Amino acid sequence: MLATSTVPSDIASTSTPTPAMSATSTVPSDIASTSTPTPAMSATSTVPSDIASTSTPTPAMSATSTVHSDIASTSTPTPAMSATSTVHSDIASTSTPIPAMSATSTVPSDIASTSTPTPAMSATSNVPSDIASTSTPNPAMSATSTVPSDIASTSTPTPAISASSTVPSDIASTSTPTPAMLATSTVPSDIASTPILQSH
């Protein structure tokens, strides 16, 4: 091996000697000789000096902002929450405060304020008072009727079941009393009642 070459002599003999590394460069001298030395890192920058020299230093975080200073400088500070509102102050400032619930209403006051209070249940009605107030009170059940009073009130009282009839009184009341079964007939009395009544 030649003392001035790091390659085998049969290759080295057909080429110029490979120069040793330059003492003032971190790259081989044959490369370093065709370029400027690579500058060291700048002491006042966190990026290599060849980049840092073409840009302004990156500003540090602003002490009075929670966002980067280059962003914060173009916007107003974000306001804190308002002590008198349950929504962010930037929203609350464009609306009236949300009223609390009304003590005399079961709906939020902003709804209740546009309507009359809902009345309590009427003591004389089995329907809510807001319905009952638009109609006459529903009478209680008639003691002489087997149908609800709101139906019975629009008709004559329904008589109780006839002692001489096997059909409900509301049917019996629209016809002559149906006689009981004839002792000499095998058909129901309501059919048997259409011929002339036979005397016993």
Per-residue 3-state assignment (H helix, E strand, C coil) for the chain:
CCCCCCCCHHHHCCCCCCCCCCCCCCCCHHHHCCCCCCCCCCCCCCCCHHHHCCCCCCCCCCCCCCCCHHHHCCCCCCCCCCCCCCCCHHHHCCCCCCCCCCCCCCCCHHHHCCCCCCCCCCCCCCCCHHHHCCCCCCCCCCCCCCCCHHHHCCCCCCCCCCCCCCCCHHHHCCCCCCCCCCCCCCCCHHHHCCCCCCCC
Q: How confident is the model at residue 196 (pLDDT cuts 50, 70, 90)?
A: low
Q: What would the pLDDT profile of 27-65 be if each residue is shown by its tens digit? A: 555 554 555 555 555 455 555 555 545 555 555 554 555
Where are the chain's structural domains? 18-180
What's the chain's Rg over C-alpha atoms? 54
Q: What is the reported pLDDT for 102?
A: 46
Q: What is the reported pLDDT for 172?
A: 46
Residue 9 has pLDDT above 50, yes or no: yes
Residue 166 has pLDDT above 50, yes or no: yes
Q: What would the pLDDT profile of 88-141 be if each residue is shown by its tens digit? A: 555 545 555 555 554 555 555 555 455 555 555 545 555 555 554 545 555 555
Of the candidates 176, 174, 178, 175, the one whose C-alpha atom is nearest the C-alpha of residue 164 is 178
Task: Specify the pTM.
Answer: 0.08
Q: What is the reported pLDDT for 14?
A: 54
Task: Tell me the percentage of the chain whose pLDDT exceeds 90.
Answer: 0
Mean pLDDT of 81-90: 52
Q: What is the reported pLDDT for 1?
A: 44
Q: What is the reported pLDDT for 139?
A: 53
Q: What is the reported pLDDT for 132?
A: 47
Q: What is the reported pLDDT for 32?
A: 47
